[in-house]
Structure 1
Amino acid sequence: MPTNSGLPPSITVSSRDLARLEAMLESPALSRHPAAIALGEELNRATILAPEEIPDGIVTMHSQVECEDELQNEKHILTLVYPHEADVDKGRVSVLAPVGSALLGLSVGQSIDWVAPGGRKLRLRVTAVHYQPESAGDLHR
């Protein structure tokens, strides 16, 4: 969960991702789930752009992201996916996981603080976006 230390970083989401995420969040199974509510709040504050207008370096759905936990000095390469595609062993992180909802919409250089399950504080900084469907022209994923 993002912490309340200061304002959260600005985020940008594609209209295609927004439509798919909102449809997912409206499902009865998720409508009251705390992670879904948190993601909905993130989407409410996002700047929404058409997929072809998303700048390089923004974390969108299916982006492969390199990030660094600045507090633990650990680097991670993660792919942001929908819940049914998640596979921790392959670095595929659900957008409903705390790290997934925290990364959505961030750009290279931005950091976000949150508290992991168990109370461990984390600060993830996006250091690179190795693959972004929008910049790769893969607009129909």
Structure 2
Amino acid sequence: MKKKQIIVSLHDYEILKTLCYHAPGTDKLREELERAVIRKGKVPDDVVQVNSTLQFRDERSGKVRSVQLVLPAVSNLQLGKLSILSPIGTALLGYSAGDTIDWEVPAGKTQLHILSVGLLLEGEPKV
């Protein structure tokens, strides 16, 4: 299956590219960044970026999760902060609300369906 093109802001691209040079196990993220459309201007609000909050469903289990996609230094699953370097975090980057992604996770192949996307606003409760 051909993968849909993903969108990444220039700001996120530069941060994530640097992260790829310094962190082990970033091959999948590097692959995603190589195929991304890099936007110098504003990225649409419904596109998953670093610090986006989103809700997605794992189609294999049916479980719906609400998370914030974050850099590894601030990740904390108990607080809903999902690292961009996690298999699911890497999978979600650059896709939009309504997209379904086929992805390999440690438990096997799954499909992730993005239900909604928004940016965390200052003072907004954490997911």
TM-score category (smaller protein): 0.7 to 0.9
- Tell me which of 10, 13, 23 is aligned to 1:15: 10
Give the structure 2 partner of residue 25 of structure 1.
20
1:57-80 per-position Cα deviation (integer Å, ceiling 9, x unaligned)? 000000001111122221110110
User: C-alpha displacement at 1:132, in angstroms?
Assistant: 5.9
Mapped to 2, the partners of 1:67 and 1:75 lie a distance apart of 6
Give the structure 2 partner of residue 139 of structure 1.
none
Aligned length, in residue pairs: 122
TM-score calculated relative to the size of structure 2: 0.88
For CA contacts below 8 A with separation 6 or more, give which structure has more relative contact order.
1
Secondary structure at the counterpart of residue 18 of structure 1: helix
Give the structure 1 partner of residue 125 of structure 2.
none
Higher relative strand content: 2
User: C-alpha displacement at 1:25, in angstroms?
Assistant: 1.4
What amino acid does structure 2 have at the position aligned with 1:38? K
What amino acid does structure 2 have at the position aligned with 1:71? R
1:43 correspondence with 2:33: yes
TM-score calculated relative to the size of structure 1: 0.80
The answer to whether the 8 A contact 2:58-2:111 is kept is yes
